[in-house]
Structure 1
């Protein structure tokens, strides 16, 4: 009985499969990042709306506090 060996896939088919997998992985990562950033922005806006402080923490450890500004009176600048 002869051994059966199937024809290997074409290189172009393998490259197309890899490209599709890469695109799917990128889309998954981007969708997750978009959801995370949306939740973070919502948290910032909700915290400020409650009158609280929100801490933005940068990669170098610097912390910036964000608070609700008091309304400015005429002549105080910022117009």
Structure 2
């Protein structure tokens, strides 16, 4: 959804929430896969495990940022609709 070539494009609240859901689902999927791998592993590579956990944290952060953007967009939409009716 982020396309810098279209500077005038402003994603809708719906688009932002869809993006947030997607990123949080990615994080959930990777977490579940990682948990299965750790459960089945005889040995753990701590460096690889930490990189995987950092990736999960980054995906979760991205999802939360999109949720925050959606909340701000919804607020601005509400303010704009109040101004239009006044």
| 1:13 paired to 2:48 | yes
**Equivalent position of 2:73 in the other structure:** 38
Pairs aligned (count) = 46
Structure 1: 5+ residue stretches without partners: 1-5, 52-79
Structure 2: 5+ residue stretches without partners: 1-40
Q: Which has the higher strand share?
A: 1
With the length of structure 2 as denominator, give the TM-score of the two structures.
0.50
Q: Which has the higher helix share?
A: 2
Alpha-carbon distance in 2 for matches of 1:47, 1:38:
14
